[in-house]
Structure 1
Amino acid sequence: MKENSWELINPQSKNLAFKVFEFNDAQDFKELKKYNYFSVVLIVKGEGTLIADISEYPFTQNSLLCFSLYQPFKIRCDGKLRGMTINFHPEFFCLHKHRNEVSCNGVLFNNIYESPVLDLTAEEAQSLFTIMSGLKTEIQRPGASQPEMLISYLKILLINATRIKVERRNRIELNLNDGPEILNNLKDAVEEDFTSLHSAGDYAKLLNISTAALNRLSKTHFNKTHSDLITDRIIVEAKRQLYLTSKALKLIAYELGFNDEFYFSRFFKKNVAISPQYFRDTVGFDRANA
């Protein structure tokens, strides 16, 4: 274990359950990361570019970056980078199980329509840094109550970060209401039809717009083509089903609009870089209902 890194290991699986990591440079983020746990990265000093999935996002100091299970990301930064990272496995803290207390899924994580970069004020960044410092202190105090204390601090961190992002989102939505109505129609169409319509052309016909115009609109406002938007939405739902249920892969594939289980597996592996079964094996499944 590094001097600036503290870990809690699951005694049953021997896998990482929880981790706090302080960083003073970008060295640990230069290579593409894909973790079987959630990650929250607070940048308090430095600026650069985040590469998440296939999109790029600029960030400056006082930024919060959030990544879901096996979401690929890396950071380009030429200057100094300082902050703190929190990692937690879903077996340690299940977002679904605690959804009524911490409504961060679809806000901080698994949010395909918004940037994973949350700009913070200096006061907001300091507040989140203080909570993370509390997690750092607690993880260095082993004992029977340690997991509960860590979970309590983690809840506070996620609740506060979610509040900040929801406030930002509400302001953006106010601006969107003055913009093209097609954006809201586009999001509604994806949410309603992603299990049955898998091509940008299908949505172009549905929304009475050309495929090229639809892709330009999606790229401008969501930083990804419409085809990538559809793919991301299918993958988010596939991950949810793999984790939260014990359904057979064949059934999950069918419910997501794939007639061939093997085609679904290839689709998943192409976009997540691991098989659906490996995702289930390393993340766990049906834990929320156990």
Structure 2
Amino acid sequence: MSQNVFTLINPQNGNLAFKLLSFDDNSHFDHLQRNNFFSLIWVTKGKGKVKADFAEHQFEENSLLAFSPYQPFMLCVNEPIEGIAIHFHPDFFCIHMHQKEVSCNGVLFNNVYQPPYTKISEQAAQTFTMVLDQMKTEIQNAELAQYELLISYLKIFLITASRLKTEQLEEMKSVPDSKEPVILQNLKDAIELNFKTKHSAGNYADLLNISPKALAKLSKNYFNKTLTDLIAERIIIEAKRELYMTNKTVKEIAYELGYDDEHYFSRFFKTNADVSPQIYRETVGFGKMEA
């Protein structure tokens, strides 16, 4: 088994920095995961169901599943699955800090309106296989600039996957049958503009001049989530980003997100992320590095 797992540990704090894992069953993912690192899981054989955040989705063979730190997920399968997983901590490579380079935030990760997977084409599979082989070789050689080379390979992997996911999202938009009703595009825009000040489902029903019941049904049908879940996810993503990237206090972040009561906000965050804002910052965020 040891040759199927390659791990780098951050010597400063003992946390996982980077891990490459080959799997031939579901034992790693058959229970709820809430990890303090990013996970990319390429299922090369088999299919099943992924439970992530507040929704369930079917995935097929040759799917790449992508999860952010502390995003709850588990895989449910009735047949053996095989594939490769990459885990990396934001201390090793932070997608927020390198957004201009890899553009995967909001595409691969943190897209509350799309299933958390990408269908992998034959061409992308060839690129992935080549890059993963290079990673395996490099991770076993503690040579000069090992981290830099691994990060370069990881960037190639992320860019390839992001391009593919973007193409697939564009294709979905161009197929009339799968096109979302205009009201749902308006809903996404409304959440994006107002999630810091409007937190209830009723707020958005009023904004869009539609009954709460009708909007709730549309949200469930198209996004497989309730409207309340969509709003909560968007707020949590922003809160996580602030905890990652800044030294703002939890009280400041709460206030910017429309919560006057810091303790209420902390409870809301913990309910959705399973850890307190402070623990999240200590185990994932970059704020501590600048303090």
TM-score (norm 2): 0.95
Aligned partner of 1:257 in structure 2 is: 258
Aligned partner of 1:50 in structure 2 is: 50
- Is 2:35 the partner of 1:35? yes
State the AA in 2 paired with 1:281.
E
Aligned residues with identical type, % of pairs: 52
State the AA in 2 paired with 1:144.
L
What is the distance in 2 between the residues matched to 1:258 and 1:272?
A: 17
What is the distance in 2 between the residues matched to 1:54 and 1:188?
A: 20
- Is 2:208 the partner of 1:207? yes
- Is 2:138 the partner of 1:169? no
Cα deviation, 1:158-201, whole Å, max 9, x if unaligned, reads 01000101111111222379552111100000000001111111
Aligned partner of 2:133 in structure 1 is: 133
Shift of the 261–32 alpha-carbon distance from structure 1 to 2, 3 Å rule, reads same
State the AA in 2 paired with 1:211.
P
Cα deviation, 1:104-154, whole Å, max 9, x if unaligned, reads 111111111111011123333333233223212211122222111100100
Gaps of 5+ in 1: none
- Does structure 2 retain, via aligned residues, the 8 Å contact 1:204–1:214? yes
Gaps of 5+ in 2: none
- Does structure 2 retain, via aligned residues, the 8 Å contact 1:114–1:222? yes
**What's the CA shift for 1:54?**
2.1
What is the distance in 2 between the residues matched to 1:285 and 1:145?
A: 22
Shift of the 173–13 alpha-carbon distance from structure 1 to 2, 3 Å rule, reads same
SS of 2:198's equivalent? coil
Aligned partner of 1:11 in structure 2 is: 11
- Does structure 1 retain, via aligned residues, the 8 Å contact 2:38–2:89? yes
SS of 1:166's equivalent? helix
State the AA in 2 paired with 1:273.
D
State the AA in 2 paired with 1:186.
L
What is the distance in 1 between the residues matched to 2:253 and 2:40?
A: 29
Cα deviation, 1:206-237, whole Å, max 9, x if unaligned, reads 10111111111111111101110000000000
Aligned partner of 2:72 in structure 1 is: 72
Aligned partner of 2:109 in structure 1 is: 109
What is the distance in 1 between the residues matched to 2:160 and 2:288?
A: 25
Stretch moving more, 169-178 or 67-76 = 169-178
Aligned partner of 2:183 in structure 1 is: 182
Stretch moving more, 118-127 or 24-33 = 118-127
**What's the CA shift for 1:286?**
3.0
TM-score (norm 1): 0.95
- Does structure 2 retain, via aligned residues, the 8 Å contact 1:32–1:74? yes
SS of 1:44's equivalent? strand
What is the distance in 2 between the residues matched to 1:180 and 1:241?
A: 32
- Does structure 2 retain, via aligned residues, the 8 Å contact 1:63–1:125? no
Q: Which residues of 2 match residues 147-162 of structure 1 at below 5 A? A: 147-162=147-162
What is the distance in 2 between the residues matched to 1:178 and 1:74?
A: 28
Aligned partner of 1:88 in structure 2 is: 88
Shift of the 213–21 alpha-carbon distance from structure 1 to 2, 3 Å rule, reads same
- Is 2:197 the partner of 1:196? yes
Shift of the 119–178 alpha-carbon distance from structure 1 to 2, 3 Å rule, reads closer
Aligned partner of 2:247 in structure 1 is: 246
Aligned partner of 2:234 in structure 1 is: 233
Stretch moving more, 216-225 or 192-201 = 216-225
